[in-house]
């Protein structure tokens, strides 16, 4: 990275020396993140098709974002970050997804863990400040395994002197090719309290950690969402961040999911918006009433889904308290966005015709990428179940 002019010229070493040079000024607190992402978006898009075809990690885009300071967006200013709010991060990731869905989804996993760590920092919780300083100063990457774990994690913890020994296989670990620390969890059979869930960080550098490099999916192919095998890794007691009931969305997890899917949902809406724009660009001025109606329907669905996200973010605010009701608002928005984004991409392909159907088309890529939406918790049907339980006064925290 050049420092004499203040512009970024990064080299993505593991991709064979691919140069990323776009004359981008490093970010500072108070900068408009959405405008900044829009300015670098074409550079992110330039690599998207190749990584989609090859199923390879979006290395160049990650280097650009890391070297600019963007990965510390949610770190408080006093700790060296940009001090962005949850809604600001969500908006920036939504904009990013217009250009490269894989880059947006992978970095959103780091961003939401960072945002939750900032939530913990505001409450003086152990380890939060040190982690956030490392994100800002050392540019470490936080990898979440929550999508594959949730309330019933894959893997087990065994009590030993001074801590736990953990083992298991984690899935959907987006960003794993450059991960520094996993934010993960394990089941622990406590002799007195029964089955528990322990949340803890696990460093990728530990010799008991292996990234399998096996990510090969229909869409979001550049996210590096590999399986991770953890074998006999020691975690000291002081690193255990939470000790939760098994099978329950308890208050801390309510906050994690509230923050996380306020950001992730924005990614899928951004993918759909990008597909809409590409389709309109292909169609151009059209006298065909069917095309006109389809474009109108795309815009309708985008607007309503955008309202859903804006409304959920308003409920969440900058510092959410644990609440199943707030979480349900976020999942309601996510459901609307997921269903809308799939319909919008279907319509975009129809509007663009054969060019949208062709392999390598950004519309075809978006069509596949948005199919990842239902794979994240909660899926659309679970969201309705949660809402119904809340409305009927039925216990809704066991999953």
CATH of 25-140, one of 1.10.540.10, 3.40.50.970, 3.40.366.10, 1.10.3720.10: 1.10.540.10
User: Tokens 């794993």 sit at which residue?
Assistant: 176
Assess whether pLDDT exceeds 70 at residue 150.
yes
pLDDT of residue 22: 54
- In the structure, what pLDDT confidence band is assigned to residue 146 with cuts at 50, 70 and 90? confident
Bridge partners (DSSP) of residue 248 are 398
Those residues whose C-beta lies under 8 Å from the C-beta of residue 200, and which sit 6 or more positions away, are: 164, 166, 184, 185, 186, 235, 239, 240, 241
Which DSSP string do the residues of 62-118 spell out, in sequence order? HHHHHHHTGGGTTS-GGGTS----HHHHHHHHHHHHTT-HHHHHHHHHHHHHHHHHH
pLDDT tens-digit map of 319-362:
999 999 999 999 999 999 999 999 999 999 999 999 899 999 99
Same CATH fold assignment for domains 146-245 and 251-392: no
3-state secondary structure of 216: coil
Whether the bond into 157 is cis, omega within 30 of 0: no
pLDDT tens-digit map of 62-90:
999 999 999 999 999 999 999 999 999 99
Assess whether pLDDT exceeds 90 at residue 20.
no
Whole-number Cα distances in Å, 291 to 280, 282, 288, 346, 347: 9, 11, 5, 13, 9
User: Taking the CA atoms of the chain, what radius of gyration do you get in angstroms?
Assistant: 21
Q: How many CA atoms lie within 13 A of 91 on its CB side?
A: 14
pLDDT of residue 8: 47
pLDDT tens-digit map of 234-285:
999 999 999 999 999 999 999 999 999 999 999 999 999 999 999 999 999 9
The structure tokens listed for 260 are: 């996380």
3-state secondary structure of 21: strand
pLDDT of residue 24: 77
Assess whether pLDDT exceeds 90 at residue 148.
no
Assess whether pLDDT exceeds 90 at residue 378.
yes
Those residues whose C-beta lies under 8 Å from the C-beta of residue 399, and which sit 6 or more positions away, are: 150, 151, 247, 248, 249, 382
pTM, rounded to two decimals? 0.94
Taking residues 13-33, report their average pLDDT.
Answer: 67
Alpha-carbon distance of 71 to 81, in angstroms, equals 9
pLDDT of residue 14: 36
Assess whether pLDDT exceeds 60 at residue 5.
no
Alpha-carbon distance of 90 to 270, in angstroms, equals 10
pLDDT of residue 9: 43
Domain 146-245 is of which CATH architecture? Beta Barrel (2.40)
Alpha-carbon distance of 335 to 64, in angstroms, equals 31
Q: How far apart are the first and last CA of the chain?
A: 46
| Domains of the chain by residue range | 25-140, 146-245, 251-392
Domain 251-392 is of which CATH architecture? Up-down Bundle (1.20)
Instruction: Provide the total of helices (H) and of strands (E) in the chain, helices listed first.
Output: 13, 10
Alpha-carbon distance of 93 to 385, in angstroms, equals 28
The structure tokens listed for 47 are: 């690599």
């Amino acid at each position: 990275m050049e420092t004499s002019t203040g512009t970024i010229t990064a080299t993505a070493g593991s991709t064979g020396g691919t140069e990323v040079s776009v004359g981008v000024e490093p970010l500072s607190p108070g900068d408009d993140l959405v405008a900044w992402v829009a300015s670098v978006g074409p550079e992110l898009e330039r690599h998207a098709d190749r990584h989609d075809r090859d199923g390879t990690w979006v290395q160049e885009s990650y280097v650009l974002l890391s070297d600019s300071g963007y990965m510390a967006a949610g770190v408080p200013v006093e700790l060296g970050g940009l001090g962005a709010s949850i809604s600001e991060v969500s908006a920036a990731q939504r904009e990013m997804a217009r250009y490269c869905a894989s880059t947006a989804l992978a970095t959103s996993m780091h961003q939401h863990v960072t945002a939750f760590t900032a939530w913990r920092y505001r409450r003086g919780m152990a380890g939060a400040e040190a982690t956030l300083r490392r994100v800002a100063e050392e540019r470490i990457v936080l990898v979440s395994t929550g999508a594959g774990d949730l309330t019933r994690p894959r893997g087990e913890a065994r009590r030993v002197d001074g801590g736990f020994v953990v083992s298991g296989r984690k899935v959907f670990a987006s960003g794993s090719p450059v991960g520094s620390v996993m934010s993960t969890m394990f089941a622990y059979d406590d002799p007195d309290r029964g089955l528990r869930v322990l949340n803890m960080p696990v460093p990728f550098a530990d010799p008991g950690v292996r990234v399998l490099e096996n990510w090969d999916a229909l869409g979001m192919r550049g996210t590096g969402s590999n399986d991770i095998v953890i074998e006999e890794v020691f975690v000291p007691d002081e690193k255990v961040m939470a000790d939760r009931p098994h099978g329950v969305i308890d208050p801390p997890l309510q906050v994690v999911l509230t923050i996380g899917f306020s950001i992730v949902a924005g990614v899928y809406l951004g993918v759909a918006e990008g597909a809409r724009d590409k389709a309109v660009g292909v169609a151009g001025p059209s006298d065909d009433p069917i095309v006109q109606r389809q474009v109108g329907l795309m815009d309708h669905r985008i607007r309503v889904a955008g309202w859903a996200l804006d409304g959920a973010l308003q409920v969440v605010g900058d510092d959410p308290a644990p609440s199943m009701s707030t979480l349900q608002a976020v999942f309601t928005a996510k459901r609307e966005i997921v269903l809308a984004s799939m319909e919008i991409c279907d319509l975009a392909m129809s509007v663009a015709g054969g060019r949208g159907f062709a392999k390598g088309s950004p519309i075809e890529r978006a069509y596949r990428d948005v199919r990842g939406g239902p794979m994240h918790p909660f899926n659309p049907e679970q969201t309705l179940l949660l809402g119904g339980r809340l409305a009927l006064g039925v216990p809704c925290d066991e999953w």
